Every structure is written in C-alpha cells, then in structure tokens.
Structure 1
C-alpha cells in the first residue's frame, strides 16, 4: 500500500451537530491535526470555501486538502442540475489538488435528524434503484473528466447503508468509486473485511472509523437516532474498537490514496488531540 494519513475535522467540531466543538477555532483543528502527524485534512464547516482563502491557511500548517463531503439528491433531480449544484464544491476540490470527491445520496436521509431513529431510514424500491444508479454513474463520468473520482460514501441513515446495498451499488455501476467506511459498515451489520476483499478494485477512498461494540449493541437495542448514537460514543478512532484493521487493509494491497481518521465523538468527552494521536499512531503501526 502507498497511503497517506489524513483526518476529518469531526474530531474537533461536528458538522451535523455544530454545537459540538463550536468554541474550537479552525486554527486549533489544523494545528493539532499537524501536531498529531497527519499530512492532510478533509473539509469541515469552519473551512472557508474559496480556494484563494483556504489554500494559504492549509499551506501555513503543512497540510493538504484530502477531499470533502457532497450530499447529492439524484433521486430528485437530473445529473445536469446536480452538477450545477455541486459546481462550487467541485471547483474548490480541483483548485486544491484533490483527486476524489466524497459523495452520498441524501434524499430522504435521517442521519441529521436527532429525533428520528435509524430504523426509519429510507429503503429504496427497485424503481428508485433504476433511477439512482445510472445517474450516479453519469455523474461519476463527468467528475472523472474534471479530474475527480467519485468516492461513494455508504452512510448510516441513508439509502445506501447495508452491505448488500453497497454490493448492489457496485454491481449496478461502472464508474462510481467506493469510499469504504469501516465504522459505518460495521454499525450497519456488515463486514468491512469482506467488503474490502469484494470491492478492492473499486475502493478509491477509506474512512477509518472504529466501533465500540458494547455501545453499538446498546444504541441499537434502544432504537436511537444516528446523532444520539454519536453522543453515546458508538464511534472512536482506529485501534480503540472492534474493527480488525490489519485484516481490512490486507484486502487492499494495491490501494494508493488516503486513509482518513474520521470518528464523530463529543470533544468534551474525547479530547481531540489525544484521540487524533491515537488514530494516527495506530494506523502508522498497521500500514
């Protein structure tokens, strides 16, 4: 593997719950990401979205921009409209040298709704798959022409959550790349080792999120929402949970890209720099 280690600013400040880490300035996030040893960061809600402003900030900390999340609504609109909506984001990523764009279909998603149980998340009918898959593939081709691989992020509370849905997404597309998220797949009841082995050739981005199995069992038994599960501490950094990272990474011998530590936690309970260092040091040992 030829990999670089990056981190998502969720460690310090949460996009879906901005009150978590609201008091932490971007300067702290970036300085501590570099202090922990990371080479790059993904976008977060405190980042300026103008390339001329963001580039010198990242350069001052010796950090590259890894990628950034884009929530698409391709079940609701055509590819032309989606590309137009995504254009500022695409332009920012390309201007800063990114090669992947993290994308997730968020039509009907419940992951940002604190009062809605994960069991209420949308399940696609066959006719909806028949709409979504060709649109994703077409958008992936257009992104490729712009120098970006679509890294599709299967995510709790969305239309592609379970392992069989990831399989269906991969089988029904050709140009869509896969963002393998070890934590989300485990939370969804899947096996990240099996998924990595099955889809190794399509993996273009990896989110390294670990799971506390006791917390996972508890939040599932209580029927909690995604955000309440985060607050309960279901996620943690690699090496602090039950995901077998050596086994996952062994399935990706030809992967060349970023391994991104991404662990939504309450920074008041999980000291950001401490956990950032834990994640970095663990991945450094197993790669």
Structure 2
C-alpha cells in the first residue's frame, strides 16, 4: 500500500541522507575515494532534499558549501558536535558548539546534532558492547547540565539541539535515553531518534518512539541486518568491525529487519515536523552508495506517498 503514513507530507518533513553511504566519517579508511562533488550530486540524483555534513565537505568555507548544495537543490539537515562534558572538558565543548552554531547560521540550517563522546569506546578497536561506558551520577550531572546550557544557546539563536544516542557511548540504550530525557529541559534539549542504533543496542525502536515522541525533533532512518547484529554481540566485535561486516543498511533493503511504518506512523500522529534522514554506515566498496540511496528513497516514496 502506498502513502499510508498520516501527517508526514512534504509540508511537514524534509528528506535527507548522510554521506556515510559514500564514505565513513568515524573511520576514514572506509573509503573508496568518492569526492564531495560526486557524493552530493548523487544525493540529489537519488531524490533527497538535504544532507548532513561529512569530513570531505568544504566546512571551513560555508559560502562555498552553500553554493555547492544550492546548485544541487540540497539543504543542510544538520552539522555534528561531539561533546565531552563527562570528562570535564566543558569550555572546549561549548566553544566548539558556538562555532558550529555560527556555521549553521551561515549555511541556513536549523538543527544541530550532538552526542557525548567522553569515555566513548566506539572509535576504539575493542568490543563495542563490552566496553561501552556506564555513567556515574557525577557524569550524568555534568552531561545534563552541559546539554541544558548549550541547548539554551541553540534556542537563543533560533536553532534546535538534538541529542544523538549512539553505540559505544554512555547514552546507548533505551534506558539511557530515558535517563537523559528525564534529566534535561524539554524546552532546550530534543532527541535525535536513530532507529539503527537502538535496534543494534538490543532495544525496540518503536517503544522508544512511542515513549519520547514529543521530544523527537530529528530522525535518522537506519536499518539493521539482525544476523550481523547478533554476531557483533556474540563475537565481541568493535564498532568498526560491525560496519565492515554490514550491520547497517537502508530502509527498503529486504535484508533489514526494522519495520519503519509503525515508527513513522507514531511520529506522524505526534505532529512531528523536521528532517527524516536516511543513514547507513556501509562500506562503499561492497555497497554501491547511489544504489542504496535510491533504494531508500523509493521505499520512502512508497511509504509516504511522495
């Protein structure tokens, strides 16, 4: 059935895609040499309206970046800021955040995505499940107070801070998300809801979408190959090894196990307005980026009706 999701028309949501289909921004060696211009051209060719920022983008020159995206009919869905509140690096974190706010203003975006990488294990060549950090009360206080502070900075600039739960960090599971939402100000700290990270963590994305639907302001649509996810846990793989094994794929891939329709229906019924961003951290040497981008866009056309 086509177009079964209520309240998620083009007047409410925009469809984006991340450059992690074309290269990996956490692990630069996962790369076959696709340049920035080809990446953003293929995003537009696949039918997307915007994209997040990758390390090959001319991010030090927002004018050049905006011109390149405008030429292809693309907007910036989000820049990324890693926070380090839990290890006491507050001042540098806030300074980096302010610089990204200025960048976002220059390129014309609204949402700014953050994740706490203090104590994170996901960039290290160690088992991602076995070594994820567990925050103590001091860590949680540093994180939530810091997020409230930079969330106010974003709001004062007409922007929205959206927190990205992430594998290998202290906010990985549904319970972690619950705690983060309880400890932060709903006026300033919103949730970036990532279906793939929650599924890989072992939780039900739909349950979290239902619970926090009013806080969700930005969405990453990522699918999971469940047999690979099971292997990541049983074989104690690192996050990089999980990506190379093919744990993630896009919505619309028959190998993925997430049913996105009820998740999107929940968001539509809750009045969601913002970016739905396709993300699949895959190896471009084995997963043709344009093929998977078009696959995801075709699926969203079928589900959303546009």
TM-score, length basis structure 1: 0.96
Could you tell me how far 1:95 is from its partner in structure 2?
A: 1.4
- Match of residue 9, structure 1, among 5, 19, 25: 19
Name the counterpart of 1:266: 283
Structure 1 segment 186-265 matched on structure 2, within 5 A: 186-240=199-253, 241-253=256-268, 254-265=271-282
Name the counterpart of 1:113: 124
Could you tell me how far 1:9 is from its partner in structure 2?
A: 0.3
SS at match of 2:162: strand
Distance 2:141 2:128 in 1: 27
CA distance 1:138–1:88, shift in 2 (3 Å): closer
Name the counterpart of 2:107: 96
Could you tell me how far 1:155 is from its partner in structure 2?
A: 0.2
**1:179-236 deviations in Å (ceiling 9; x for gaps):** 0000000111111111111111111100000000111111111010111000000000
Could you tell me how far 1:60 is from its partner in structure 2?
A: 1.4
Structure 1 segment 1-287 matched on structure 2, within 5 A: 1=8, 2-49=12-59, 50-77=61-88, 79-174=90-185, 175-240=188-253, 241-253=256-268, 254-287=271-304
**1:91-144 deviations in Å (ceiling 9; x for gaps):** 111211111111000001111113444310111012221221122112111111
SS at match of 1:207: strand
Distance 2:194 2:124 in 1: 21
Matched pairs, number: 287
Could you tell me how far 1:82 is from its partner in structure 2?
A: 2.4
C-alpha contact 1:219 1:229 (8 A) present in aligned 2 = yes
C-alpha contact 1:79 1:138 (8 A) present in aligned 2 = no
CA distance 1:22–1:87, shift in 2 (3 Å): farther
C-alpha contact 1:78 1:135 (8 A) present in aligned 2 = no
- Which has the higher mean CA deviation after the structures are superposed, 26-35 or 79-88? 79-88
C-alpha contact 1:75 1:128 (8 A) present in aligned 2 = yes
Distance 2:128 2:97 in 1: 29
Distance 1:213 1:126 in 2: 33
SS at match of 1:205: strand
TM-score, length basis structure 2: 0.91
SS at match of 2:81: strand
- The structure showing larger relative contact order (alpha-carbon pairs under 8 Å, at least 6 residues apart) is 2
Unaligned 5+ segments in structure 1 are: none
Distance 1:76 1:220 in 2: 27
C-alpha contact 2:223 2:251 (8 A) present in aligned 1 = yes
CA distance 1:108–1:246, shift in 2 (3 Å): same
C-alpha contact 1:110 1:121 (8 A) present in aligned 2 = yes
